Amino acid sequence: MASRNQNRPPRSPSNRKVGAEENPLDKRRRIGAERTTGRGRAPFGALNNKTESNDVGRVEGSECSTVEFTKEEVEALLNEKMKKGAPFDNKKKIEQMQDLIKRLKLCVKWFKGVEDGYVQEKEKLQSDLESAEKKCADTENEMKIKIAELNETISNLRTEISSLEERIRKEESEKMETIECYRKEKDARSAAEQMQASLSIELEKVRDEKLAAERQAILNEDKYKRSEDYNQSLQNYNRSLQSDLKTINEAHKRLETEKATIVENLSNVRGHNKALQDQLVTLKALQDEATKQKERSENEFKCLREELKQTRDDRDRRLEQVQTLTVEVDKYKECTGKSLVQLDTLTIKTNALEETCSSQREQINILQQHLIAEREKLKMADLSSLETTKIFEDQKRIIRELQERLTEKEFQVIEGDKLRKKLHNTILELKGNIRVFCRVRPLLPDDGPGTDTVVSFPTSTEALGRGIELVQSGQKYPFTFDKVFNHEASQQDVFIEISQLVQSALDGYKVCIFAYGQTGSGKTYTMMGRTEAPELKGLIPRSLEQIFQISQSLKDQGWKYKMQASILEIYNESIRDLLSSNRSSGFETSRTENGVPVTGKQYTIKHDANGNTHVSDLTIVDVCSANEISSLLHQAAQSRSVGRTQMNEQSSRSHFVFTLRICGINENTEQQVQGVLNLIDLAGSERLSRSGATGDRLKETQAINRSLSSLSDVIFALAKKEEHVPFRNSKLTYLLQPCLGGDSKTLMFVNISPDPSSTGESLCSLRFAARVNACEIGVPRRQTSTRSFDKDSRLSYG
């Protein structure tokens, strides 16, 4: 924090040396001591010395920046009296006075310097505070963003880590599965290899067997060939035996023939027969022998056949065996081929799995490296978050300090605001708690000729802008009001004058602004204005817009406002709720239409202990914006015109009362305010003698006159602090009474028509306004106008 001395005017080099050796307090003490001992104080002593050397200006310039005064010194300087000398020693007196003046000048300069320093310090602090606040807010935002980013990064990293861990777990389980698969495949491969080996052995065996079978087959074939050859030879032998047998049989036949011949020749050849018989026996023996031989050969042949068959069967069997073995060999071959293919695919798969495994291992390594890097990052993030937290704490501390300063400043602002309100109110009170403005409307095409003939505005310094003169029957009637607006005054000109009152309503005061005047004098124009163009807007919309604008701007100071609006109309002493959603229920029960009572509500006016007015059954709407108010005013205008049609009522015969209740609370100070803003367009005034009214119209006019007269009576009674406040059964005055007394602010517009045919009405209105203008409520009014209130000048509308 900057010390206060930093903002002081710079010290002269010579003095800086002194300042380095002793503090200002010591110096002040020294100055005081020197003064009491009469040896001269540092500033004044220096001044005196320099005065002697006739170089006062330069000395003052250089010394004033180094001299400091204590309160006591300043008071002593102010209270210092002339030393008593010779009574006519004017020269000495003058010197003394010059000395005193110089010291006083020094003191004043010192004061100015200090004051400038304070102002600079204040400005610097203000700018420091603003920049620090901005910086704090920025840093806080940055911190928040950074923390959010870090949190996000941390959460991302965490999710990444968890996903990586999950992936690792998955990879590991996959790896385990792969290893398991690999192991199984290895087993299968080894089993297949074993099988292949056993199959190879079997194949070898089968091959051997096949070779043996082939050899056997060759042998068998040889055997078979030999058997066939043998068979052939046996068949040949058999054939030869057959041919032998044939020849033998032929021989036998021949022998038989020979026998016959022989037998024939037996006798002849008995001898020979015998020999022949012997030969025959031998031949028979031979034949037996041959038959036996034949049988033996046949047996042998049979045996050989058997053997051949057996060999053939054997051969067939062997062939079958060979075939089955070949099939088996083929099968084995196929099987081996398949196994080999399987083995190859398994090998490829294994290789692929091994590759996958190694790539996964690599991936795991990469992921682990990632994990390590991310952990490292996390650590870094933690560290930076710690650093950030530290910075954040520092910033928080700075913010706290700044907030404390801000609170201090806010307190000062609040105090300033209180002072502003007080001053604002004082200004208004000085202007008068009751003020009367007069507004003269321009001539309308329907009016008679010339404004100047009826109304004129005095140009004397005292009455400029405040005076108005009305001419009736050649006689001039001068009036003075707080402000007089001529026919050229715009709506904005008028609003500028009343806008301070609007501020008072927000400050918690009761404010009542009403327009009074004869029919057609411009009351509605003043209060409501016209909707065609924004610049024609009247006081009511402008005031409400300002209220919302100010209430918005006060939000920064912690003020929160709740606004409630109600709009009513008083016609013939009956209240009509212009915001009632049910139009027929907007009328008071006491009203009748064509002699038939209209069903509706009873609007009873009550005042509570806090001086607030309540109208029972009245619609109260919470409003937050000027737009809402506009739509309410629109609704009220429609209800009004509907009411007029229903009641067969003429325009301007009713008082239009817009009430805005303002409840403000300051969240910082818990200060509360309750203001009321009443904006009223009164019914047009009319003299009975002039209206020539009869019947209901007469009653209406009497009621209006009664309520207007009663209004001035109430204002008068409140101004005079009279105990009895006359209401004369006027609902209007009873309604407004809490807003007229005490420190309430009342502003009355008296609207004047320049139409020569209504000069009498204008005079009457001006007299009424003058009567109100003479009232004083609260603090005494300014001295500029002498006011008198003639109790007997009560207006008569009769």
Ligand X SMILES: Nc1ncnc2c1ncn2[C@@H]1O[C@H](COP(=O)(O)OP(=O)(O)OP(=O)(O)O)[C@@H](O)[C@H]1O
Annotated binding site for ATP: 517-524
Nearer to ligand X, 273 or 751 (CB): 751
Name the residue nearer to ligand X (CB basis): 574 or 652.
652
Q: Which of residues 139, 652, 705, 707 is near ligand X by CB under 6 A?
A: 652
**What span, in angstroms and rounded, lies between the C-alpha atoms of 583 and 586?**
5
Supply the DSSP symbol for 536. G
Residue type, 386: L
Least Å distance, CB 517 to ligand X, is 5
Site for ligand X in 433-472 (CB under 6 A): 441-442, 444
Nearer to ligand X, 325 or 747 (CB): 747
Going by the DSSP 8-state scheme, the letter that residue 444 receives in this structure is: P
Torsion angles phi and psi, residue 334, rounded to 5: -55, -50
How far is the C-alpha of 388 from the C-alpha of 146, rounded, in Å? 8
User: In DSSP terms, which residues pair with 662 in a beta bridge?
Assistant: 563, 675
Contacts to ligand X from residues 128-147, by CB under 6 A: none
We find the least distance from the C-beta atom of residue 715 to ligand X, in angstroms, to be 20
Q: Give the up-direction half-sphere exposure of residue 53: CA atoms within 13 A in the CB hemisphere.
A: 10
Q: Closest distance between ligand X and the C-beta of residue 725, in Å?
A: 27
Closest CB to ligand X among 432 and 684?
A: 684
- Per-position DSSP letters for 605-630, written without gaps between them: EEE-TTS-EEETT---EEE-SHHHHH
Q: How far is the CB of 798 from ligand X (least distance, A)?
A: 20
By beta-carbon proximity to ligand X, the closer residue of 533 and 596 is 533
Q: Which stretch binds ligand X (CB under 6 A): 193-201, 421-429, 521-529, 734-742?
A: 521-529
Largest CA distance in the chain: 247
- Residue 75 in 3-state DSSP? helix
**247 or 651: CB nearest ligand X:** 651
Query: According to CB under 6 A, which one of 522, 541, 600, 754 is a site residue for ligand X?
Result: 522
By CB under 6 A, tell whether 524 contacts ligand X. Answer: yes
Would you say 456 or 666 has its CB closer to ligand X? Answer: 456
The residue range among 156-164, 499-507, 522-530, 600-608 that interacts with ligand X, by the rule CB under 6 A, is 522-530
Residues 178-195 as b or e (16 or more Cβ within 10 Å = b):
beeebeebeeebeebeee
Find the binding residues for ligand X in span 664-703 (CB under 6 A). 684
Least distance (Å) between residue 525 CB and ligand X: 3
Nearest-angstrom CA–CA distance, 399 and 119? 24
Cβ closest to ligand X, residue 185 vs residue 686 = 686
CB of 524 to ligand X, least distance (A): 3
Which CB atom, from 318 or from 441, has the smaller least distance to ligand X?
441
Map 285-349 to HEC letters: HHHHHHHHHHHHHHHHHHHHHHHHHHHHHHHHHHHHHHHHHHHHHHHHHHHHHHHHHHHHHHHHH
Q: Which residues are annotated as a binding site?
A: 517-524
The residue from 508, 520, 600, 778 that contacts ligand X (CB under 6 A) is: 520
Q: Are the C-beta atoms of 161 and 409 separated by less than 8 Å?
A: no
Closest distance between ligand X and the C-beta of residue 107, in Å?
58
Q: Which residues pair with 563 in a beta bridge?
A: 623, 662
Dihedral sign for Cα atoms in the order 378, 381, 385, 387? positive
Nearer to ligand X, 136 or 766 (CB): 766
**Residue from the set 200, 277, 519, 671 that interacts with ligand X by CB under 6 A:** 519
Shortest CB 448 distance to ligand X, Å:
14
* 175/439 with CB nearer ligand X: 439
Q: Which stretch binds ligand X (CB under 6 A): 199-207, 259-267, 417-425, 520-528?
A: 520-528
In angstroms, the CA 576 to CA 231 distance is 154
Asked if 705 is part of the footprint of ligand X (rule: CB under 6 A), the reply reads: no
Q: Residue 780 CB, nearest distance to ligand X (Å)?
A: 33
Please report how close the Cβ of residue 652 comes to ligand X at its closest, in angstroms. Answer: 3
Q: Which stretch binds ligand X (CB under 6 A): 46-54, 452-460, 517-525, 667-675?
A: 517-525
DSSP assignment letter at 204: H
User: Which residues 6+ apart lie within 8 Å of 499 measured at CB?
Assistant: 542, 543, 546
Distance between CA atoms of residues 741 and 728, nearest Å: 17
Stretch that binds ligand X, among 65-73, 308-316, 515-523, 691-699 (CB under 6 A): 515-523
Identify residues 226-245 at the interface with ligand X (CB under 6 A): none
Other C-beta atoms closer than 10 Å to the C-beta of 21 total 8
Q: CB of 634: closest distance to ligand X in angstroms?
A: 17
Consecutive H or E run containing 571: strand 559-571
Rounded CA separation 725/716 (Å): 9
Size of the site for ligand X (CB under 6 A): 15
DSSP letters, 541-555, are: HHHHHHHHHHHHHGG
Q: CB of 603: closest distance to ligand X in angstroms?
A: 23
Residues 525-544 that bind ligand X (CB under 6 A): 525
Whichever of 7 and 451 has its CB closer to ligand X, that residue is 451
Residues in 726-765 that interact with ligand X by CB under 6 A: 751
Which C-beta is closer to ligand X: that of 353 or that of 454? 454
Q: Tell me the closest approach of the beta carbon of residue 766 to ligand X, in angstroms.
A: 15
The whole-angstrom separation of Cα 763 and Cα 251 is 202
Helix (H) or strand (E) segment spanning residue 784: none
Residue 47: helix, strand or coil by DSSP?
Answer: helix
Q: Does 707 engage in binding with ligand X (CB under 6 A)? A: no
Contacts of 179-182 with CB under 8 Å at 24 or more apart are: 179/357, 181/353, 182/350, 182/353, 182/354, 182/357
Residue among 623 and 732 whose Cβ is closer to ligand X: 732
∠ CA 620-623-627, rounded to 5°? 125
The torsion angles phi and psi of 570, rounded to 5 degrees, stand at -115, 115
Sign (positive/negative) of CA torsion 131, 133, 138, 140? positive
- What is the number of H-type helices and E-type strands within the chain? 15, 16
Give dist(CA 140, CA 642) in Å, integer. Answer: 59
Closest approach of ligand X to the CB of residue 626, in Å: 22
Which residue is associated with the tokens 């309308």?
444
Minimum distance from CB of 445 to ligand X (Å)?
10
523 touches ligand X by CB under 6 A = yes
* 639: contact with ligand X by CB under 6 A: no
CB of 93 or CB of 697, closer to ligand X: 697
Q: Taking CB under 6 A as the rule, does residue 517 contact ligand X? A: yes
Q: Of residues 275-304, which lie at the interface with ligand X (CB under 6 A)?
A: none
- Express the helix, strand and coil content of the chain in percent, nearest 5 each: 65, 10, 20
Question: Nearest Cα to 287, choosing from 256, 265, 257?
Answer: 256
Closest CA to 367 of 114, 576, 561, 165: 165
Of 15, 220, 504, 521, the residue at the interface with ligand X (CB under 6 A) is 521
Least Cα distance to 421 among 410, 409, 429 occurs for: 429
Report the interface residues with ligand X, using CB under 6 A.
441-442, 444, 517, 519-525, 651-652, 684, 751
